[in-house]
Chain A
Amino acid sequence: MGSLKFDENVCATCPSADCLIKCQYMDFEEDEAHNEMMKIVKGLDSRVLHDCVTCYACEEYCRRGNHPFYLIGERREEKGIYTASRAITNQWINLTQMQGKPMVGTVKDKALSSCFIPDLGALGSGELFKEVFPAVTFGAEFMCPAVHTHFAKMSVVKERLPKVMENFKKLGVKEVICLHDECYGTYTSIAQAYGMEVPFKPVYYMDFLLTRLKELKDRIIPLNIKAAYQRPCSNRLIPHKHRLVQEIMDYIGVDMPGRKYQGENSLCCAEIIRSVAGYKLADDIQGRNIDDMLEAGAEYCVFNCPACQSSLSEKVSKKGLKPVHIIDLCKMAVGEKGREG
C-alpha cells in the first residue's frame, strides 16, 4: 500500500495558501488559511476536517505540487471523521467492491475503460470509438477508486488502486483510454501522489476524441449552439487537461459564452455535497450554477462526468437547458446523433 508523498516544507513556505483561500465552500482570512493548513499538516484538528465538502478543487489551487485534498482525506480518516454518514460511506464501498464480474472485450494493446459506469459503455461507441470500442473494459475490477476520497476513505483508495492497475496489467495493455475523467485523474495524480507505478499509459479520452474529430473533419457540421460546461470535481486533479474542452468545442462549432462559474471558479455538481453537507448547500450551489448557465445564454449543459450528468440533468432540463455529454455532442457534430441531446 502506497503512502502519500506530501512535503510539509512546501506548505510551511507557501506564500499564498491558495488551497484554502480560494475554496468556494469555506471562508478564510489569509493567515487563518495558512494556519489551518499547517494544523492539518501537523496532524492537529482543524475546522477544515469537519467542513470540507470534498470538491477536489484545492488540488488545482495548489500550484506548488503538494496534495492538500489527499492530505485532508488522510487526516480525516486517521481521526475517524466521516464526511457523509457511515451508511452512505459503506454503501459506496460495497457498491464498488470487486465481485469477479468484470466485462472485458477484445483487448490487445489498448483498452477502452468504461470504469464502472454503464452510461460510459454507450458513450464510448460509434464512429468516434470505432477502433477501440471492441476493447472495452467495465466493472469494479477496472474502476478507479477515487470516489472514496469523497468519504475520506483513503485506505480504500490505497488498497484498491494497485489491484485495479494490476487487473489492467494482466490484460497486457499498453494504453488505457479513460472515458471517465476521474480514472485519468486517478492514474496520473493519485497514483503519483502515493508513489504507485502505473503499468500502462493512461490516455485522456478528450485527447483521443480531439484526434478522432480531426480525422473525421470532413463529416463535421458545426453545431452552432451555445453551451455551458459542467466541470467535474475530478478535473481538478488534471487541470492541464481542462483546455481540451474549449478546443473540442471550437472544433465542433459550439460557443461557450463566458460564465461566472467557469475554469477555476467552477461549481461542483453538488451530488456528493448533498450527502456530505446536506441539501441546503447542495440546492444553493445547484441553483447558482444553473442560473449562471442561463444568464450566459447557454442552450445546452455539457457534461464530462456521467455522475454530474445524473445529478444535474433533470434540474437543468426543468430550466430549459438540454443536458448532453460532451461525447454525444461530438456525435451530434459528426451526424451520428440527433440534436435533442
Chain B
Amino acid sequence: MKNIYEALVEIMGERGVSNRPEEIWFYGRDPGVLPPHPPDYVVAPETTEQVQKVVQLANREKIPVVPMGNGMALTGLVIPLKGGIVMDMKRMNKILEVNEMARYVVVEGGTSQGMLKAHLRDHYPRLRHSLPDAPPTTTIAANVSLHGQGCLTQQYGFNSDMVSGLEVVLPTGELCKIGSPSLGPYWFSKGPSLPDLSGLFLGWLGTTGIFTKVGLKLYPNKKIREMEIFVTDKAELVPEIIYKLTHLEMLEDLIAWFQPKPLMFKDNYHLTIYFTGDSEKEIEFKRTMIWDALQEFIDNKDGGFMNVQAMKPNLMENPQRGIAAFADVPRGGGFEYSGPITLIELYPQFAAKVVELAEKYDVIYSSAARVISGGHSMMFSISFAFNRADPAMMERVKKALDEATEYALKMGGIPWKPNYMEQKMTMDHMDPNTLKLLRMIKKNLDPHGIMNPGNWEPAP
C-alpha cells in the first residue's frame, strides 16, 4: 500500500495525509459504543479538486472512502468498517456566499455549525439557520447527509429539507451540482421544479458521494426568543398537548423530554416550548396563546407551567452545552441514542419502552422527542449514558439500543442515523421493491462500492 500513500501525498501534500499510528487510532472510532476499525489512511482536503482526486484514486484502486465531519453521529457512521481512507472534511470550512434577500447560504463541505452561527450573527443578524443540538463543531454537510434536525425543524422540517443546492463528488470522482446551481449561479432550490436529485444523497450517510458544497436555507432571526416548560405526569396526555400546541402555528421548537435525574424531573414529562417575536407585544401574545391552549390541562390539575428562571440560561443556549454533558452522568464520557422518527401519538408507548429498557439493562436514560414539521412526526430519542472505562456497561447500552431499534421498527418507525446493524434491520423490514430500488441506485452510483462501505449495503 506504500504507493497509495505516495499517491495521496502527491494529491494532498504532506500536511494533508497521515498513516501515522496516532491518526489511524483516532480516526478509527467515534464516541459511541461500536467497536473501532482502523483506516489505512486519513486525509484532510482543503479543495474540491483534492476530494475529487482522492475519490478517483480510491475508485481506481477500489479503496473505501469514508467522509467525516466531526464524527459526532455517535452511531459509528464514520468508523471505516472496511478500512481505507477516512476523509476529514473540516479544513474545507469556508462560508462562500450568503444571499440575504433569498435567505440562503453556500458553505464548503466541512463548515461547522458554530462558525455559520457566528458568521450570521456578525454579518447577517436578521438571519439564522437551524442549529442542531449537537456540538458546534459538527458540520453542516454531515448533518444534512444524515437528515439531521435543528431548532427550526418543528417549523420547517428536517435540516435536509432546508438544503437549497448541493455540490457532490460522485463515487466515480465526477463533480456534480444538484438543483438550481446546476443551471445557474443561484442556490435557492435543491430540486423543485426539476426532478429532485438531492434524494440520491441526502440521508445516504456518505454512501453515494461527498458533499463539497451545501446550499442551506436561512430563516428570519427574530429579536426576542422565549421559552416555557409545561409539565405533566401523564405520558398519555403528551400527544394531545403537542397537538394543541402545534395547532397554534406559533412555535419555534417543541421538545418533549423526561429523565429520572436530577430528582426534580422524576416521574414527569416536560415540554419545552420555544417561541420568538420581534416585540414584547408579540411575545406576550404568543405566550398568552400558549397558556390558553393548555388551560384545560391546568384546570384538571393534569399539568402546569413550571418556573423556568433557573433553567432558562441553559435551555436558551443554542446549541445547548448541557446536552453533551449527559455523557458525564456516569462519570464516563459517553452516551448514545436511538432516535427513531415516529408518530407523535405513539409517545406513551415509546416512553414506557425507554424505562423498560433502562431497567432491563441497568443503564441511565434520558429521552427528548423533537416535533418535526408542525406535528407530522417526531424524533424520539432513547439515550443511554455509559462509562467508557466500563466495557460491560457499554455492552449493556449497545444491547439496549439494538432492542430500541427493533422496537421502533416493529412500531412502524424509522431509525434515525442508524448504525450498520440497524440499517440491516431496517432493510430487513423494507418492502422488497424499495430495497431493490435502493440497491440499484447505489450500484449505479458506486459501482465498486467504495463509499463508506458497510453502510446501506443490502445483501446481494
What is the interface of chain A, defined by CB distance below 8 A to chain B? 82, 84-88, 90-91, 94-95, 97, 99, 271, 274-275, 278-279, 310-311, 314, 318
Binary flags per residue of B254-276, CB closer than 8 Å to A gives 1, else 0: 00000000111111110000000
What's the Cα separation between A90 and B306 when bound, in Å?
12
Q: CB within 8 A of B301: which of A82, A91, A95, A314?
A: A82
Interface residues of B, dominant DSSP: mixed
Binary flags per residue of B327-357, CB closer than 8 Å to A gives 1, else 0: 0000000000000000000000000000000
Report if B193 contacts A (CB, 8 A).
no
Which residue from chain A places its CB closest to the CB of B291 in the assembled complex? A279
Using A278-B291, A279-B288 as known contacts, say yes or no to A91 and B310 having CB atoms under 8 A apart: no
Q: CB within 8 A of B304: which of A85, A97, A271, A310?
A: A85
12 contacts between A and B (CB under 8 A): A84-B301, A84-B304, A85-B231, A85-B298, A85-B301, A87-B269, A87-B302, A90-B267, A94-B265, A275-B304, A279-B291, A310-B307
Judging by beta carbons under 8 Å apart, are A87 and B268 in contact?
A: yes
Distance of B294 from chain A, by nearest CB (Å): 10
Q: Which of B232, B297, B303, B307 has the most CB of A within 10 A?
A: B307
Which residue from chain A places its CB closest to the CB of B262 in the assembled complex? A95
What's the Cα separation between A274 and B295 when bound, in Å?
12
Residues of chain B within 8 A of A279, CB atoms compared? 287-288, 291, 305
What's the Cα separation between A85 and B266 when bound, in Å?
15
Distance of B263 from chain A, by nearest CB (Å): 5
Residues of chain A within 8 A of B265, CB atoms compared? 91, 94
Distance of A333 from chain B, by nearest CB (Å): 27
CB neighbors of A among B275-319 (8 A): 280, 287-288, 291, 295, 297-298, 301-307, 309-310
What's the Cα separation between A124 and B118 when bound, in Å?
39
What's the Cα separation between A278 and B220 when bound, in Å?
32
Report if B49 contacts A (CB, 8 A).
no
Binary flags per residue of B210-237, CB closer than 8 Å to A gives 1, else 0: 0000000000000000000001110000
What's the Cα separation between A82 and B297 when bound, in Å?
13
Using A95-B264, A278-B298 as known contacts, say yes or no to A85 and B232 having CB atoms under 8 A apart: yes
Judging by beta carbons under 8 Å apart, are B303 and A87 in contact?
A: yes
Distance of B345 from chain A, by nearest CB (Å): 21
Judging by beta carbons under 8 Å apart, are A95 and B263 in contact?
A: yes
Residues of chain A within 8 A of B262, CB atoms compared? 95
Residues of chain A within 8 A of B232, CB atoms compared? 85, 87
What's the Cα separation between A325 and B303 when bound, in Å?
32
Residues of chain A within 8 A of B266, CB atoms compared? 94
**20 further contact pairs, Cβ within 8 A, besides A85-B297, A279-B287:** A84-B301, A85-B232, A85-B233, A85-B298, A85-B301, A85-B304, A86-B301, A87-B268, A87-B304, A88-B306, A91-B306, A94-B266, A97-B263, A99-B263, A274-B307, A275-B304, A275-B306, A275-B307, A278-B295, A279-B291
Interface size on B, residues (CB 8 A): 27
Judging by beta carbons under 8 Å apart, are B305 and A311 in contact?
A: no
Q: CB within 8 A of A94: which of B267, B287, B291, B309?
A: B267
Distance of B296 from chain A, by nearest CB (Å): 12
Q: CB within 8 A of B310: which of A90, A274, A310?
A: A310
Which residue from chain A places its CB closest to the CB of B310 in the assembled complex? A310
Residues of chain A within 8 A of B287, CB atoms compared? 279
Using A90-B233, A310-B310, A318-B280 as known contacts, say yes or no to A275 and B305 having CB atoms under 8 A apart: yes
Judging by beta carbons under 8 Å apart, are B264 and A87 in contact?
A: no
What's the Cα separation between A10 and B159 when bound, in Å?
68
What's the Cα separation between A279 and B230 when bound, in Å?
13
Judging by beta carbons under 8 Å apart, are A87 and B295 in contact?
A: no
Distance of A122 from chain B, by nearest CB (Å): 14
Judging by beta carbons under 8 Å apart, are A91 and B309 in contact?
A: no
CB neighbors of A among B41-87 (8 A): none
Distance of A214 from chain B, by nearest CB (Å): 34
Distance of A70 from chain B, by nearest CB (Å): 22
What's the Cα separation between A271 and B307 when bound, in Å?
8
Distance of A104 from chain B, by nearest CB (Å): 20
Which residue from chain A places its CB closest to the CB of B267 in the assembled complex? A90
What's the Cα separation between A164 and B297 when bound, in Å?
35
Distance of A96 from chain B, by nearest CB (Å): 8
What's the Cα separation between A90 and B302 when bound, in Å?
12
Distance of B271 from chain A, by nearest CB (Å): 11
Residues of chain B within 8 A of A310, CB atoms compared? 307, 309-310
Residues of chain B within 8 A of A88, CB atoms compared? 231, 304, 306
Residues of chain A within 8 A of B263, CB atoms compared? 94-95, 97, 99
What's the Cα separation between A87 and B237 when bound, in Å?
12
Distance of A304 from chain B, by nearest CB (Å): 17
Which residue from chain B places its CB closest to the CB of A83 in the assembled complex? B301
Residues of chain B within 8 A of A311, CB atoms compared? 307, 309
Residues of chain A within 8 A of B303, CB atoms compared? 85, 87
Residues of chain A within 8 A of B267, CB atoms compared? 90, 94
Binary flags per residue of B401-431, CB closer than 8 Å to A gives 1, else 0: 0000000000000000000000000000000
Residues of chain B within 8 A of A90, CB atoms compared? 233, 267-268
What's the Cα separation between A275 and B228 when bound, in Å?
12
Judging by beta carbons under 8 Å apart, are A91 and B264 in contact?
A: yes
Judging by beta carbons under 8 Å apart, are A86 and B302 in contact?
A: yes
Residues of chain B within 8 A of A278, CB atoms compared? 291, 295, 298
